[in-house]
């Protein structure tokens, strides 16, 4: 691989993908991880939030109106709208595996053999098994995240190819030339694949920006080994005065002399151009799909906001105070909750590893760019909070699994780097055995992390199944009571709030008496004494895991301003009810149900003449 770097100026993607896919260790770890993490979900069917209105989203086109056009158009070619959980879940896992391989190839193009294949295997395993993916994987078609991750990775590979092609031009001529046609084509391809990723889930723009910065940071960290690889072992051992003077130079000057940089400013500028083109294509695609499929009538049903409209909160009165509160909430979600939520804990640990390895590079290589790129990567990752005006929800944090995997890569890189240096310095067989032992311990640590992630992922999927079973039991009992004592030809209005049994979702909360609560409280009190209280949920405790605590019954009761989706949930389980089509009656029913007993107490169902009230 190192020889390849000296003689080639474009990446051999086919060769790298073949190397990864052909490696039994890599594929074995990745496939086993995927089976352990998603096996329970794929083989256990549940109906949850967004499953009941699948036809509304994909046949009528509501999902296309909000900019997620990829699955809408894909449904025109292959059947997706019909509820077929095993097929779609299994396909999503396969796509996630493919995405992990492409992401591995992307970073392999930078680090090469300086990271062993085991490191790339655990990068892929940590990415695929990140429990935060379970926050979105339970939604219908998983919000297209599998296609999004794959498209985003391919887009960044195109950016990497563009970078190498520009580097070739500058190395050959020594002048700053305009990009040739093939280079522009690669940049356009990057924009197109980013456009596809955003067409699955708009938050992939955030992952793409952060991924581009991580790619540049990886190049800075691996710069010493990559750009000096042409030196032979004999020349490395030659202790001449010229060698000493060369080694005393900052690595930046050596790299510049080797001509191996395309220029970080150029890459960032090209990335900005590709991102802008992708945004324009997205806006154009929404307009085209709306016109071609006559979806104008749905525009009032969806929340559509331009970027300027979303940023409007920043110029309103009290915007600065609001921003401070958003930053505080982000600190809680992606920092403090590490005490109680495994994916956040892994994210924090990865941030520590990334920071330490980067600072070592900054100090040893006098690399100011690495110092700049480090905070830039995290700023890009959390830039969605500036756009939306709220802390990023876990289901929209597509960047987090990649950051966790990136931390694994740098951890393996650092361990192998330090042990190799120690072996060269001591040249003792005993120390070589110690170094091999250290590497073995490092791999064991990563194996434990992957195991814990798979266990955590399966736990959340099991909780989702328990929630579903409890919901089915509830609707069966309500349907039995309705069919036995009432005229089910009348419209039914559901009022009140349904709560999932605490025994099922208790892992989504931290109780007030738990030691973890006191640890989180002490940390947040340093910033704001009332900060953690904002996540209190009555007697249940602090709400930590988001999606696992949500109820399909409670969602169906108010989705799209009516309880039609809850009625459809009943229908999917063999009970035919009639939804109330008069929106004005819902407020009336809510007022009349204030004094009614709650389900399952006697009298929770009341016949009001023209409609029936079912009160939770």
d(CA 442, CA 436): 10
pLDDT of residue 588: 87
DSSP class per residue in 523-565: HHHTT-TTTGGGGB-GGG-EE-SSGGG--HHHHHHHGGGSSHH
Name the average pLDDT for the chain. Answer: 87
CA separation for the pair 116, 518 (Å, rounded): 41
Q: 307: pLDDT confidence band, cut at 50, 70 and 90? A: low
- The angle at the Cα of 125, spanning 139 to 406, to the nearest 5 degrees, equals 100
**pLDDT surpassing 70 at residue 560:** yes
Residue 585 pLDDT grade (very low, low, confident, very high; cuts 50, 70, 90):
confident
Specify whether the CB–CB gap between 407 and 353 falls below 8 A: yes
In DSSP notation, 258-286 reads: HT----HHHHHHHHHHHHHHHHHHHHHHH
pLDDT band of 541, cuts 50, 70, 90: very high
Task: Please state the rounded mean pLDDT for residues 552-573.
Answer: 89
pLDDT of 425: 82
pLDDT per residue over 322-356, tens digit each?
899 999 999 999 999 999 999 999 999 999 999 99
Per-residue pLDDT band at 167 (split at 50, 70, 90): confident
- pLDDT value, residue 245: 39
The residue extents of the domains of the chain are: 2-230+249-298+305-462, 463-615
DSSP 292: H
Going by pLDDT thresholds of 50, 70 and 90, the confidence category of residue 225 is very low
pLDDT tens figures, 34-75: 999 999 999 998 988 888 888 788 888 888 888 889 999 998
Q: Tell me what the mean pLDDT of segment 231-259 comes to.
A: 40
- 230 pLDDT band, cuts 50/70/90, is very low
Comparing 252 with 145, the larger pLDDT belongs to 145
30/174 Cα distance (integer angstroms): 43
Res. 523: pLDDT tops 90? yes
Residue 342 C-beta-side C-alpha neighbours within 13 Å: 22
Is-cis flag, bond preceding 600, omega within 30? yes
Per-residue pLDDT, 264: 87
**What's the pTM?**
0.89
Average pLDDT over residues 140-164: 93
Per-residue pLDDT tens over the stretch 408-455: 999 999 999 999 988 888 777 777 888 999 999 999 999 999 999 999
> pLDDT class for 235, splitting at 50, 70, 90?
very low
pLDDT digit string, tens, across residues 386-421: 888 889 999 999 999 999 999 999 999 999 999 998
Say what the pLDDT of residue 165 is.
Answer: 84
CA distance 81 to 52: 10
The pLDDT value recorded for residue 66 is: 84
Q: Give me the pLDDT at residue 81, please.
A: 75
Specify the pairing of strand 491-495 against strand 578-579.
Answer: parallel
Segment 564-572 mean pLDDT: 91
Report pLDDT for 179.
57
- In this prediction, residues 140-150 reach a mean pLDDT of 91
Asked whether the predicted pLDDT for residue 600 surpasses 70, the reply is: yes
Indicate the range of 48-52, 112-116, 488-492 predicted with least confidence: 48-52
Supply 303's token pair.
């929340």
pLDDT at 183 > cutoff 50: yes
Under the banding of pLDDT at 50, 70 and 90, the label for residue 542 is very high
% the chain with pLDDT above 70: 87
């Amino acid at each position: 691989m190192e020889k390849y770097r000296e003689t080639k100026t474009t990446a051999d993607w086919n060769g790298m993908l073949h190397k990864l896919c052909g490696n039994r260790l890599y594929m074995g770890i990745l496939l086993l991880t995927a089976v352990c993490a998603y096996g329970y979900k794929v083989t256990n069917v549940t109906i949850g939030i967004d499953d009941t209105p699948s036809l509304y989203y994909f046949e009528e086109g509501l999902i296309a109106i909000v900019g997620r056009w990829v699955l809408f158009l894909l449904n025109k070619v292959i059947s997706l709208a019909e509820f077929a959980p095993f097929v779609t879940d299994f396909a999503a896992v396969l796509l996630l595996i493919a995405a992990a391989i492409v992401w591995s190839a992307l970073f392999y193009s930078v680090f090469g053999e300086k990271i062993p294949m085991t490191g790339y295997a655990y990068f892929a395993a940590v990415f695929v098994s990140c429990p935060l993916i379970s926050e979105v994987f339970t939604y219908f078609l998983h919000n297209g995240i599998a296609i999004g991750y794959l498209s985003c990775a391919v887009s960044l590979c195109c950016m990497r190819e563009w970078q190498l092609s520009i580097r070739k031009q500058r190395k050959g001529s020594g002048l700053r030339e305009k990009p040739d046609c093939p280079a522009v084509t690669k940049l356009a391809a990057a924009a197109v694949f980013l456009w596809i990723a955003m067409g699955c889930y708009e938050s992939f723009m955030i992952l793409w920006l952060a991924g581009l910065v991580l790619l540049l940071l990886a190049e800075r960290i691996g710069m010493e080994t990559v750009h000096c690889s042409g030196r032979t072992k004999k020349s490395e051992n030659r202790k001449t005065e010229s060698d000493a003077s060369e080694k005393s130079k900052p690595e930046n000057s050596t790299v510049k002399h080797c001509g191996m940089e395309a220029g970080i400013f150029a890459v960032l500028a090209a990335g900005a151009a590709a991102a802008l083109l992708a945004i324009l294509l997205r806006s154009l695609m929404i307009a085209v799909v709306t016109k071609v499929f006559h979806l104008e009538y749905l525009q009032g049903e969806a929340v559509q906001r331009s970027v300027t409209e979303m940023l409007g909160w920043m110029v309103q009165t009290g915007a600065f105070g609001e921003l401070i509160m958003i930053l505080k909430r982000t600190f809680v979600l992606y920092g403090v909750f590490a005490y109680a939520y495994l994916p956040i804990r892994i994210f924090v640990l990865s941030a520590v590893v990334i920071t330490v390895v980067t600072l070592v590079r900054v100090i040893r290589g006098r690399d100011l760019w690495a110092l700049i790129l480090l905070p830039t990567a995290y700023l890009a990752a959390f830039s969605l909070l500036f756009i939306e005006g709220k802390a990023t929800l876990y289901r929209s944090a597509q960047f987090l699994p990649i950051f966790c995997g990136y931390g694994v890569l740098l951890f393996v890189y650092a361990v192998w780097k330090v042990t190799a240096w120690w072996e060269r310095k001591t040249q003792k067989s005993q120390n070589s055995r110690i170094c091999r032992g250290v590497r073995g311990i490092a791999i064991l640590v990563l194996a434990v992390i992957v195991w814990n992630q798979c266990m955590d992922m399966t736990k959340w999927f099991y909780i989702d199944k328990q929630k579903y079973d409890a919901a089915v039991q509830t609707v069966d009992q309500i349907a039995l009571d309705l069919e036995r004592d009432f005229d089910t030809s009348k419209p039914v209005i559901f009022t009140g709030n349904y709560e999932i049994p605490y025994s099922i979702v208790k892992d989504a909360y931290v109780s007030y008496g738990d030691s973890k609560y006191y640890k989180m409280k002490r940390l947040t009190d340093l910033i704001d004494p009332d900060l953690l209280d904002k996540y209190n949920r009555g007697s249940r405790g602090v709400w930590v895991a988001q999606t696992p605590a949500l109820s399909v019954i409670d969602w169906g009761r108010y989705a799209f301003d009516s309880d039609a989706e809850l009625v459809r949930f009943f229908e999917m389980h063999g009970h035919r009810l009639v939804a109330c089509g008069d929106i004005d009656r819902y407020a009336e029913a809510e007022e009349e149900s204030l004094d009614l007993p709650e389900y399952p107490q006697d009298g929770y169902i009341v016949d009001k003449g023209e409609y029936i009230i079912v009160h939770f």
